[in-house]
């Protein structure tokens, strides 16, 4: 087990994100993915939290299982939405007691079913403050290179992110497709005095409709030229090849530009992530001890 804030000081990190399985078949697929990706010796892995806390127990159980049953360092996502302060404190105390040291503090999305909800903490920065008060966690927050979809403008978005990073240890970005969006955000944060590491999030495009939907939800712009190439390809294998090529080149550009690591949104599948990782290892971007 390691604190991610410490891991980030040792050189570029390579990390993977999963979501809790919804049924037995999904659980089998996830555990196969965990087994495959564990061989890559990731710097850490993260587990998402459903809208409105809908996967509260499944997230906790998966994080603790990864901690106890694998060699990987887990980070638990936690959101403000639909929770009281006392509920959040209880969740954090359970993680602390289990030995979990890393939390990604998020504002969160409202329940997917449109049900009424009440949250005592309004913003992610409030949750960061609570996490700090409960235990000695390493705390991450979310960043949006193109701006949070609910931010009124880019300037206010960067100010809010800078305020979060003043209290947190690091950030992980939503996925994006243009490296300049990431580097522009880093420059804007530097102008605000922020030097904490911001790890770029990567989602390889292997399914056009799925990633397009995710991009719309997250506010990420899906490049027109990439969309045209993928739709013109037609064949699923060709779509996958293009998606992996584009993601690999984005990873190279980000690491060459000084990004502190890469965080892969796996969608609980390993092949695309493993292929990109092995290409980066062949190019010398991955330390020999991790690539072996």
Per-residue confidence (pLDDT) for residue 159, from 0 to 100: 97
With vertex at residue 250, the alpha carbon angle to CA 255 and CA 155, rounded to the nearest 5 degrees, is 85
Active-site hit among 17, 101, 146, 188? 17
Q: Residue 280, Cα to own-chain centre: how many angstroms?
A: 19
Predicted model pTM: 0.93
Return the structure tokens found at 206: 């292997």
Enumerate the β-bridge partners of residue 263.
Answer: 15, 201
Residue 154 CA to residue 189 CA, distance in Å, equals 11
| Topology (CATH) of 4-291 | TIM Barrel (3.20.20)
Per-residue confidence (pLDDT) for residue 115, from 0 to 100: 58
Enumerate the β-bridge partners of residue 76.
Answer: 47, 103
Per-residue confidence (pLDDT) for residue 53, from 0 to 100: 67
**Is residue 208 within 8 Å of residue 238, measured between CB atoms?**
no
Enumerate the β-bridge partners of residue 140.
Answer: 104, 170
Per-residue confidence (pLDDT) for residue 112, from 0 to 100: 61
Residue 56 CA to residue 64 CA, distance in Å, equals 13
pLDDT, tens digit only, all 292 positions of the chain: 699 999 999 989 999 999 998 888 998 999 999 999 999 999 999 999 976 666 778 899 999 999 999 999 999 999 998 789 999 999 999 999 999 999 999 998 766 655 556 678 989 999 999 999 998 999 999 999 999 888 899 999 999 999 999 999 999 999 999 999 999 999 999 999 999 999 999 999 888 777 677 676 667 778 888 888 888 887 889 989 999 999 999 999 999 999 999 999 999 999 999 999 999 999 999 875 465 4
The dihedral over CA atoms of 50, 52, 57, 62, expressed in degrees to the nearest 10, equals 20
Q: Where are the domains of the chain?
A: 4-291
DSSP 8-state secondary structure symbol assigned to residue 113:
T
With the C-alpha atoms ordered 37, 41, 43, 49, is the resulting torsion angle positive or negative?
positive
Residue 250 CA to residue 51 CA, distance in Å, equals 29
With the C-alpha atoms ordered 66, 72, 73, 76, is the resulting torsion angle positive or negative?
negative
The yes-or-no answer on residue 17 being catalytic is yes
Report the interhelical angle of 154-167 vs 179-191 (nearest 10°).
Answer: 70
């Amino acid at each position: 087990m390691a604190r991610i804030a410490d891991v980030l000081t040792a050189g570029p990190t390579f990390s993977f994100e999963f979501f809790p399985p919804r049924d037995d078949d999904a659980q089998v697929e996830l555990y196969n993915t965990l087994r495959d990706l564990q061989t890559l010796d990731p710097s850490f892995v993260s587990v998402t939290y459903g809208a409105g806390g809908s996967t509260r127990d499944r997230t906790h159980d998966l994080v603790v299982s990864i901690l106890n049953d694998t060699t990987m360092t887990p980070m638990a996502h936690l959101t403000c939405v639909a929770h009281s302060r006392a509920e959040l404190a209880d969740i954090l105390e359970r993680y602390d007691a289990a030995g979990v040291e890393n939390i990604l503090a998020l504002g969160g999305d409202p329940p997917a079913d449109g049900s009424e909800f009440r949250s005592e903490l309004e913003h992610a920065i409030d949750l960061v403050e609570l996490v700090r008060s409960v235990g000695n966690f390493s705390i991450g927050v979310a960043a949006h290179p193109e701006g949070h979809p609910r931010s009124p403008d880019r300037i206010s978005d960067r100010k809010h992110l800078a305020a979060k990073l003043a209290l947190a240890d690091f950030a992980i970005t939503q996925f994006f497709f243009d490296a300049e969006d990431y580097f522009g955000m880093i420059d804007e944060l530097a102008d605000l005095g922020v030097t904490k590491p911001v790890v770029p999030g990567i989602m390889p495009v292997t399914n056009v409709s799925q990633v397009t939907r995710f991009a719309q939800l997250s506010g990420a712009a899906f490049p027109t030229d990439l969309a045209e190439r993928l739709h013109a390809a037609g064949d699923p294998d060709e779509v996958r090849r293009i998606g992996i090529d584009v993601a690999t080149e984005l990873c190279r550009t980000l690491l060459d530009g000084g990004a502190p690591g890469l965080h892969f949104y796996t969608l609980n599948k390993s092949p695309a992530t493993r292929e990109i990782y092995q290409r980066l290892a062949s190019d010398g971007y991955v330390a020999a001890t991790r690539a072996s």
